[in-house]
Structure 1
């Protein structure tokens, strides 16, 4: 019952957002100012890439700094690595979005190429970032990111507190992602009805992602024994 009420709430939220966009001047303004939108996303991509690069080298330097207090250094490494992970993930998404928007809206060639370069940089630093934990914590037997059983091995070498933090964060991410995808499904449905521009592929993709992710979650906890 509680889950059903949440779905109804998300559906109502999605309908309100879609109605606001469809029957106000927001959509027309976005279409008219698409170049400003593209440039905004492009600038945000640059900022996150720069933050990723700076954060990466700061963490590399901290790993070699023996003068810092041990407790402070551990806290700094943990928080800085979290910030770095957020920056690298955001830079990948924003640079790819900028590139896609540039192609769709026929932006100048330099814009598309620059977005592609940003995406490649973001992807490269994502790879570098994934290898940092082994350098930051050489005393721990952390698994390689390429290991097929990386998640299981990472949980195995983590203590109870670390597992609790990770699993709590992952569950919150799963719950919010499911909710936002469901709202997106409602928005696309209302948009299709209101404009006559059917978003069938988008609705099918979102619906498939929701079905697969929820089935994967339920089956994983169902078969835990």
Structure 2
């Protein structure tokens, strides 16, 4: 099972809109192996395109063996992020067939790819002032954001400390949710804010939006707190048999 498979417990084209959006978000961050007509020459690669009743589609898989298995043998291919492939195909008016025959099979026409590209252009709304008051997030916000945020922040292990989702009341009277992150190196803050903005762009909008801040003050009771996953345990030492002969160098 790949991360895309795990998100496709319900087939993509039968899933509700929020689930489809989460799948497309994961696709954008997935390394895809796209079939080529021949090995790349210098910086030029010709995609292998398939004429289907729905149009012309490139073929890509999230594992090399899946691509070879579908084609029936070794095939020239190129590895690149899903977002890059989607942008190139949308520009040419071509579709993308992903993981045919597997749980995460996707047939994405040029319109869907163009929507994906627009969503990836999202820019973060940043916390620009201290909130007048912080409250526990609304139940609907927790239901919508808890799982996607946990997954995306898990991808940022080692870059983000504690995170919290709260409902903020600003000095001008506006109310909206805020995602507050601790322990982020200032050099990484723009990239992390952009990645979270992309995630939010794939989800239904919340009233007042969700701003992103890099300071988690005293949190209200009921805040949705996401702790970073623990670092992986070091491998256990290999114990040598005391009865083994000495190692000669």
Question: TM-score range, shorter-chain basis?
Answer: under 0.3
Say which structure, 1 or 2, has more relative contact order (CA 8 Å, 6+ apart): 1
Larger radius of gyration: 2
Structure with bigger strand share is 2
Give the TM-score taking structure 1 as reference length.
0.22
Give the TM-score taking structure 2 as reference length.
0.21
Structure with bigger helix share is 1
